[in-house]
Chain A
Amino acid sequence: MDSLLSLLIWFPILGAVLVLLIGNNRIAIARWVSVFISILVFVLSVNLFLDFDTSTSAMQFVEKASWIGQFNVFYHLGIDGISMPLIILTTFSTVLVIIAGWEVIKNRVADYMAAFLMMEGLIIGVFSSMDSMLFYVFWEASLIPMLLIIGVWGGQNRVYASIKFFLYTFLGSVFMLVSLIYMYNLSGSFAIADMYTLPLTLTQQSWIFWAFFLAFAVKVPMFPVHTWLPDAHVQAPTGGSVILAAIMLKMGGYGFFRFSLPITPDASSSFATVVIILSLIAIVYIGFVALVQKDMKKLIAYSSISHMGFVTLGVFVVFSIMKMGADGQLVSINGSSIESAYLGLEGAMIQMISHGFISAAMFLVVGVLYDRLHSREISTYGGVINSMPKFTGFAVLFALANAGLPGTSGFVGEFMVILGALQANFWFAFLAATTLIIGAAYTLWMVKRVFWGPINNPDVSTLSDINTRELCIFAILATAVLLMGLYPQPVIEVMHASVINLLEQALTTKLPVSL
């Protein structure tokens, strides 16, 4: 199909309008229409995977039409191996959250479903834009439904959390806008591909790098601009947390892949150590912060930040492994093979996708408990296994995946990144590897306090186990987590050509060689 990407973007958005028109009074129809739309979009997006040509790093499914002639802005879509898995992750997660919100959301159901469909379309737009202005429009527009989701269906402190979320990310993004315009004025084009080839001095690159960094680091989020995330996660409804963790954070990681590395390769290289240190702080320090949380959602939010640290670590560690030789061939800095640079980048990608599954699952686990007892406090629970055995089975599986147990998807990405980091610097790898201990500590300790042990709270004994709907969601997620953990090869194959291309771009200097 020629316009598959457009269909994937606009079908959910128009579907959202339809659901809005159905209205909050016809709940059953709104639910069924939404779930139908989301499944249809997911099925359509699988076509991206099936028809994808893994042998090339070129953009595929390209669509191009003039949009704003004044600025040379094109409605230009296309995907490569980096964006395609993220799009499928988006469509997949949207189906889950819509089913997860089925009977849990009682207030303004149609609006709720519509907001998620709208967001799905916008985020697919983010991942498939090849024009930076189009990208920016989708990037910012996706804040609006999330603002409303947190603000309308959130918890006690939702107003504070939603506005903090919005302003934080908005502030980060406007600097990206300024640097995009700056590059447009240099090159006369907003096309991302033209920015790759735009010659920039190191000073220009540094400014642009930090402007991009603000936008993407806030989104990821990286230490020290992560403070909006715990608030947003804790206050958001379960579905909101899932989308936030599973997809929105990935937009930041994607930004590093798509913008920072290829557009500002020299600045990325010179500031790589700073980013790596921030990533390690996120991995270790935020891991410890997670350990002391009393609120389950907050704990998972901090664990998200810690896990996303692996993404930025994997991306920027390549600068310590490889460099571009004078003859245009990649050469190793300290004797390691080029494979370890791939390990870093591909590990980061795998980590993003795996985190999409695991964090979604973890937030849904908390959601199930919250729906029943309306508490996120760890201390409320204890001995849940006695009344909810099936649920506990899934919860423990996801918790182990979160801790990075081999065989689950959580292990693959982290292990790849650690292996890559080991080639760069032993201490990077050492610090990153501590997460296997800290991560296991905070996750398993939470499991122990919530699921094992005696029942302290009489309410816990009255809990009913998960119903079929919840069982389905968890079963799908468990399959995904195990599949990715045992056989990640298809995903790696899809992205391999694009990663090779990206690595070359990231290591090719934009500066005059005569320096």
Chain B
Amino acid sequence: MMNFQFNVSELIFVLPELFLLSAISIILLFDLFASERLKPLTYYLTQLALIITGWLAFDLIGESAIIFSGTFVLDTMGSTFKVFIMGFAIIALVYTRHYLKAHELLRNEYFILALMSILGMMVMVSGHSLLTLYMGLEIMSLSLYALIASARDRAVAIEAALKYFVLGAIASGLLLYGMSMIYGITGSLDIAQISNFARASTLASQQTLILNFGLVFLVIGVAFKLGAVPFHMWVPDVYQGSPTSVTMFLSTVPKIAAIALLIRLLIDGLGDLQHYWSDLLMIIAVLSIALGSLVALMQSNIKRMLAYSTISHIGFVLLGFVTGVVEGYGAAVFYVLVYILMSLAAFGSIIVLNKNGFEADQISDYQGLSKHSPWFALIILVVMLSMAGVPPFIGFYSKLFILQQVIAEGYIILAVIAVVFAVISAYYYLQIIKTMYFDDADKEITVSAPLDMRVVLSINGILILLVGLMPSFWMSLSVSLF
């Protein structure tokens, strides 16, 4: 029986969400009534809203509470995730605006939809009941479907949106099905009570069976949202078809939310079934790493290549969860954060080369970049080597952390498989470096991005090196979340 109580003093803990929701409403109204001259302000208001929300979330770090009758949890992990979501979203929107301008897609609904999906992510991050989690997931996903379709005169974008919508709906359905199983057997939607139920040693075999049955569907749902093999089919098409700014958004911030979903459901909720879901995740992880690395080798479209590379990165993240220990989870979170930082820079560098509606999404578009724009070529070089896991860049330390945990738990074979595929994947990252540095250019490339885009992309690239030289802080932060 749910006993719903509402206490006004609890509202302080949802201040970031409340603020963001109000900001969305205000920005929506502002945009509706603003004159043409004032329209560009919407973008700045969006960024301002993100900054303030991030600050509010930052302020709540250290607080912990379970509120609204156990449907919403505030903990250090949630608040930290929210801060990172805001930070990465701010970077993503800087790149986005340049892209939208260059492609004449600049409509302010874009920013409002992005804010809406971020609100959904925040709800997911803090969900403490199956319902809240699902609601957050849907708020996020519905906004993303619309974002993909925002390039409404491009057939590929519409196809991508439809594909994402249909497959996303199936995934949501599977997740809901699993949730209903769990609810049916535990009689509760509350994560804490589900956890208590699973911990009880006196489970009848029938109950265990149903619990595991539900668990499998939860894992499938999460794997779908993360884009892990064998639930990855949508990833390449959606990544390639979406406008690059949306691809960038899709491949970055929602991953934090999806990881939060995984943590809330599998670790917080069904942590006692860890030995069951570990094995499931292990197979998914290895397949993701292998397929992502191998198929990426054959891509000529850089967005599609990055899609497969994402799949293999997600495989590494899942390896962290396979270990079933707190440090392993920390390593996974660290990997996700690092991956997002690199992914932002990678898509940012596709966008920075965009000009007058021309998409620089073929690898051959990068020919001779190092001659015409040595600085951005250097940044892309850093990003690619970092993704390949070459020290001293940050991508190496994320792999190191995962491998260390995997080996510590005795899965040496897994580590060997992972490193071999890491070497294979290095080949396609090298292809981009080769195109930029070794090939002769047959056409001029000029970078005409505005100053804010250049500055943010440069900082993004430098961070990949600097955090790589000093990775200690992020690593201990990631572990401290659990």
Taking Cβ atoms with an 8 Å cutoff, the residues of A that contact B are 67-71, 108, 111, 133, 136-137, 140-141, 143-144, 147-148, 151-152, 158-159, 162-163, 166-167, 170-171, 174-175, 177-178, 181-182, 184-185
Contacts and interface: CB of A to CB of B under 8 A. Distances in A.
A184 B476 CA distance: 18
Interface in B418-450: 419-420, 422-423, 426-427, 430, 433-434, 437-439
17 contacts: A68-B471, A70-B401, A70-B472, A71-B475, A137-B392, A140-B396, A141-B390, A151-B433, A152-B438, A158-B438, A166-B426, A166-B430, A167-B423, A170-B423, A178-B412, A178-B415, A178-B419
B404 interface: yes
The majority secondary structure among interface residues of chain B is helix
Given A70-B475, A170-B423, A171-B423, A178 B437 contact: no
Given A178-B415, A181-B407, A185-B404, A137 B427 contact: no
Given A158-B438, A163-B427, A166-B426, A140 B404 contact: no
A136 B391 contact: yes
B319 to A, nearest CB: 13
B472 A68 contact: yes
Nearest to A139: B391
Interface string B397-417: 100110110011000100110
B385 interface: yes
A182 B407 contact: yes
Contacts of B404: 71, 181, 184-185
A144 B390 contact: yes
A175 B419 contact: yes
Contacts, number: 88
Given A71-B404, A144-B390, A167-B426, A159 B419 contact: no
B479 interface: yes
A142 to B, nearest CB: 10
A185 B407 contact: yes
A388 to B, nearest CB: 33
Contacts of A177: 400, 403, 419
Nearest to A24: B374
Among B415, B426, B438, find the residue whose CB has the most chain A CB atoms closer than 10 A: B438
Given A137-B391, A174-B422, A178-B403, A151 B437 contact: yes
A456 to B, nearest CB: 34
Among A140, A143, A181, A185, find the residue whose CB has the most chain B CB atoms closer than 10 A: A181
Contact of A141 (B392, B401, B427): B392
Nearest to B409: A185
Interface of B: 370-371, 374, 385, 390-392, 396-397, 400-401, 403-404, 407-408, 412, 415-416, 419-420, 422-423, 426-427, 430, 433-434, 437-439, 471-472, 475-476, 479
Contact of A182 (B396, B412, B475): B412
Contacts of B407: 178, 181-182, 185
Contacts of A69: 472, 476
Contacts of B397: 68
B391 A178 contact: no
Contacts of A181: 400, 403-404, 407, 415
B298 to A, nearest CB: 16
Q: Which 9 A-B pairs have the closest CB atoms?
A: A174-B419, A137-B391, A70-B475, A151-B438, A185-B408, A171-B423, A140-B391, A68-B472, A181-B404
A178 B390 contact: no
B315 to A, nearest CB: 16
Contacts of A136: 391
A114 B345 CA distance: 24
Given A67-B472, A181-B403, A144 B385 contact: yes
Nearest to A73: B472
A4 B211 CA distance: 62
Contacts of A67: 472
A70 B415 CA distance: 19
Contacts of A171: 420, 423
A178 B400 CA distance: 9
A162 B415 CA distance: 27
Contact of B391 (A108, A141, A162, A184): A141
A413 to B, nearest CB: 32
Among B391, B408, B437, B476, find the residue whose CB has the most chain A CB atoms closer than 10 A: B391
B281 to A, nearest CB: 21
Nearest to B408: A185
A148 B392 CA distance: 16
Contacts of A152: 370, 437-438
Contacts of B471: 68, 70
A304 B241 CA distance: 51
A170 B426 contact: yes
A166 B416 CA distance: 19
Given A151-B438, A163-B430, 12 more contacts: A67-B472, A68-B472, A70-B479, A108-B371, A137-B392, A159-B434, A159-B439, A166-B430, A171-B423, A174-B420, A177-B400, A178-B403
A174 B396 contact: no
Contact of B390 (A68, A71, A143, A151): A143
B481 to A, nearest CB: 14
B362 to A, nearest CB: 18
Given A163-B434, A170-B423, A184-B404, A70 B476 contact: yes
A175 B385 contact: no
A137 B396 contact: yes
Contacts of A148: 437
A111 B370 CA distance: 11
Contacts of B412: 178, 182
A271 B27 CA distance: 72
Contacts of B390: 140-141, 143-144, 170
Nearest to B427: A167
A164 B292 CA distance: 21
B415 A68 contact: no
B416 A175 contact: yes
Nearest to A174: B419
Contacts of A184: 404
A152 B378 CA distance: 14
Contacts of B396: 137, 140
Contacts of A71: 400, 404, 475
Among A69, A178, A184, find the residue whose CB has the most chain B CB atoms closer than 10 A: A178
Contacts of B403: 177-178, 181
Contacts of B434: 151, 159, 162-163
Nearest to B410: A185
A175 B415 CA distance: 9
A248 to B, nearest CB: 16
B366 to A, nearest CB: 14
Nearest to A154: B438
B438 A68 contact: no
B246 to A, nearest CB: 32
A184 B408 CA distance: 9
Nearest to B371: A108
B233 to A, nearest CB: 29
A487 B376 CA distance: 51
A68 B412 CA distance: 23
A152 B408 CA distance: 41
A162 B438 contact: yes
Among B392, B396, B416, find the residue whose CB has the most chain A CB atoms closer than 10 A: B392
Contacts of A144: 385, 390
Contacts of B408: 185
B370 to A, nearest CB: 8
B475 A68 contact: yes
A175 B392 CA distance: 18
A109 to B, nearest CB: 13
Contacts of A159: 434, 438-439
B341 to A, nearest CB: 18
Nearest to A182: B407
Contacts of B374: 111
A235 B105 CA distance: 47
Contacts of A137: 391-392, 396
A143 B391 CA distance: 10
